[in-house]
Amino acid sequence: MEAEGKKQLFVREGTILYRLDPTDIKWIEVEGNYLYIITESKRFTLRISLRKLEQKLPAHQFIKIHRSVIVRFGAIDKVDFSAGVVFVGEKDLPLGPTYKEKLLTTLELLN
């Protein structure tokens, strides 16, 4: 859904529907049958596929770094390519070997 030129997501938890600006998202990860959207202040738990959610995100703001993790570019603090880790604050997220080259290329384009 578009609002004021920006893509907005609506996330339901129980009976409450939250409007979520993609810029509030730090990362998204999958564990088992659950998908977690991590923001600065809240962790949303959903039952949706990562692929389906990825299609709803603005592609220029997010990148898949592992088969089970998507991160927002603006949330990345540092990347250790040799260790295969992306840091978002104090959280270290896995960087899959399949996704290293795309991340490196994309980050170089941003510099």
Q: What is the pLDDT of residues 20-69, one digit of tens each?
A: 999 999 999 999 999 999 999 999 999 999 999 999 999 999 999 999 99
Among 45, 38, 51, 57, which Cα is nearest to 16's? 45
Rounded Cα–Cα distance for residues 19 and 5 (Å): 15
| 99-107 CB contacts, 8 Å cutoff, 24+ apart | 99/63, 99/64, 99/65, 99/66, 102/63, 103/63, 103/65, 103/79, 106/63, 106/73, 107/76, 107/79
Among 9-13, 39-43, 71-75, 107-111, the minimum mean pLDDT is found in 107-111
Structure confidence at residue 3 (pLDDT): 42
Residue 4 has pLDDT above 70, yes or no: no
pLDDT band at 2 (very low <50, low <70, confident <90, very high): very low
